[in-house]
Amino acid sequence: MKIGNPADKPVVTPAATPASTAATTNAAASAPGQPAEASAQVALSSTATSLLSAGDAEFNAAKVESVSQSIDRGEFTVNAGVIADKLIANAAELLSGGAPKA
């Protein structure tokens, strides 16, 4: 797989939208080395908010150590069916607007 643009082909950039043009103009107007004026507002969806608040989940160091030792001994097995079921359940909850369960 090649990454980047071949030297013999021109670089294609997306067309500028009015919003991106205004942002570029505002950024260019600021003095060099100075941050551009903050003008963008970001609103998080309820799903994003719930995912951010879920960051407080507790960490079970004993379980991590147990799994690590099982892997080291070659005894750890992956139950693909359980993983698939949980991924599908989490995706369904995200699509329905609910928060995923850990």
pLDDT, one tens digit per residue, over 32-75 is: 666 667 777 888 888 888 777 766 567 788 999 999 999 999 99
Q: How do the domains of the chain map onto residue ranges?
A: 46-96
- What local confidence, expressed as pLDDT, does residue 67 receive? 93
- Please give the pLDDT value at position 58: 75
Specify the pLDDT at position 45. Answer: 86
Question: Is residue 4 classed as helix, strand or coil in its secondary structure?
Answer: coil
pTM assigned to the model:
0.34
Q: What is the per-residue pLDDT for 43?
A: 85
The length of the chain in residues reads: 102
**Distance of alpha carbon 47 from alpha carbon 90, whole angstroms:** 12
pLDDT at 88 over 90: yes
